[in-house]
Amino acid sequence: MSSKRELIPHVLVEPANDPDACVIWLHGLGADGHDFEPVVPELGLPADAAVRFIFPHASAIPVTVNAGLKMSAWFDILSAGVSRTVNKSQLIASARAIENLIEDQIEKGIKANRIVIAGFSQGGAVAYHTALGYDLPLGGLLTMSTYFATREDVQFTEANRQIPVRIMHGDFDPVVLPNMGLEARDALVERGYDVQWTTYPMAHQVTMPQIIEIGRWLSKVLCLK
């Protein structure tokens, strides 16, 4: 019997078949779990792909760089720019909430190595911390238009030394500058991670060519036919 745990609110998109894989996909600042929900049918996954999608909702908190206004955020951003400062304790707490979702899926019968963690912008920063510090081998890590805010703080686990990492970024991103994505890539490459870096002629967004490529990557790492 599954243990009871408090789960962060989320959108659940179930496949037609009993799921044997799961993608947990985190939104960016000011959005919610519905933001990427419409992407699922656009990924081009096989019709019989038994993949469950979970899109968590971040809580509304004051965000310093936005004049302290409350909005959905995984953590507070204290200063913007390349050397942005974030509330790392809030980021780590968000990562713990995502770990609860992972553990809930494992209890429901999904193997850890069939679970992919994905995140856009702020959600990507949480995805980095969650996946690279998790103590069971996961299926993959996808980060989009983001940065690795806790690369000096995360406890890298041996379990995920071989995790496939896909990093995507916009060449003209004015919000999370491309160099911030490159710093994340380089930090992982230096540690020996298998990293695939791709850029697109876009700003701080997700485009259809990117979505199609995400679908191909998910099919590969989850061995979908």
Enzyme catalytic residues = 121, 173, 204
Pairing verdict, β 85-86 and 77-79:
antiparallel
**CA distance readout (Å), 92 to 13, 72, 87, 128:** 26, 16, 9, 10
Contact 72, 84 (CB under 8 A): no
Q: Name every residue whose Cβ is closer than 8 Å to that of residue 1 and which is 6 or more positions away in sequence.
A: none
Q: What does the H/E/C string look like for 11-41?
A: EEECCCCCCCEEEEEECCCCCCCCCCHHHHH
Please, where are the H alpha helices in 85-164?
Answer: 88-107, 122-132
